[in-house]
């Protein structure tokens, strides 16, 4: 694809994870801002999510936060976003993040990040979209994820083509090139079925 207009990040909300991860999230926010690409994310101030938003805002970028009403307090809804969309529930949050984004980037995170990542990958598997997904394997954090997918392929729970639905890069500096290099879908996409 060409340079995306907006990029959605999936990443952790934990405040206790590695400071290096948070620094990289912040740096990625800056990279998007410099490239003039809008950041779409979960709308909180906590963890990697907050760090990426701060990095983008500090760089003069546009940031769209998408947060369910019930998480406004727990994830500290970021009222400094360029646009803060408050949704009624989690499903509306994910649907909005999907609709507002041209590509998805997975930074280190926990179960919520995995949920979002596999939802977007399984939607791709079902030809519901053809948006690029890039896993940013900072410090090798996502190696077990790539291993798990290869394990599922070996045990024939998923076709080898699934491996083509995402790319893995080691550093946030490599993400935009990976998005631009992502292949288009081979079948027609049906976003109306999401
Ligand atoms: P985590 O990776 O567990 O720190 O979660 C990252 C983000 O994913 C947080 O903003 C969570 O609110 C969000 N999240 C967790 N579970 C879900 C879900 N089922 N649907 C949508 N977002 C979720």
- For ligand 1, what atom is nearest to the CA of residue 109? 2
66 CA distance to ligand 1 middle (Å): 12
Which residue segment(s) compose the domain that 21 sits in? 6-181
111 CA distance to ligand 1 middle (Å): 7
Residues of the chain with pLDDT under 70: 185
Q: Whose CA is nearest to atom 5 of ligand 1?
A: 112
Asked whether 28 and 49 are in contact (CB, 8 A), the reply is: no
Q: Which residue has the tokens 């935009």?
A: 176
CATH of the domain at 25: 3.40.50.450
Residue 190 lies in a domain: no
Number of domain units in the chain: 1
43 CA distance to ligand 1 middle (Å): 11
Residue 192 lies in a domain: no
For position 194, what pLDDT does the model report?
A: 82
Name the percent of the chain in helix, strand, coil, to the closest 5.
45, 15, 35
For position 176, what pLDDT does the model report?
A: 98
């Amino acid at each position: 694809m060409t340079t995306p207009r907006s990029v959605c990040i999936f990443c952790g909300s934990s405040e206790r994870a590695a400071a290096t991860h948070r620094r990289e999230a912040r740096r990625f926010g800056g990279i998007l801002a410099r490239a003039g690409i809008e950041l779409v994310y979960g709308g909180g101030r906590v963890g990697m999510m907050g760090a990426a938003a701060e990095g983008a805002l500090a760089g003069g970028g546009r940031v769209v936060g998408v947060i369910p009403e019930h998480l406004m307090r727990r994830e500290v809804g970021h009222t400094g976003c360029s646009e803060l969309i408050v949704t009624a529930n989690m499903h509306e949050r994910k649907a909005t993040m999907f609709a507002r984004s041209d590509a998805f980037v997975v930074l280190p995170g926990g179960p919520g990040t995995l949920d979002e990542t596999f939802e977007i990958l399984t939607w791709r598997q079902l030809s519901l979209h053809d948006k690029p997904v890039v896993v940013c394997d900072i410090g090798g954090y996502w190696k077990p994820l790539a291993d798990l997918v290869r394990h599922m392929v070996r045990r024939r729970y998923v076709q080898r083509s699934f491996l083509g639905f995402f790319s893995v890069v080691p550093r946030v500096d490599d993400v935009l090139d990976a998005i631009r290099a992502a292949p288009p879908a081979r079948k027609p996409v049906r976003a109306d079925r999401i």
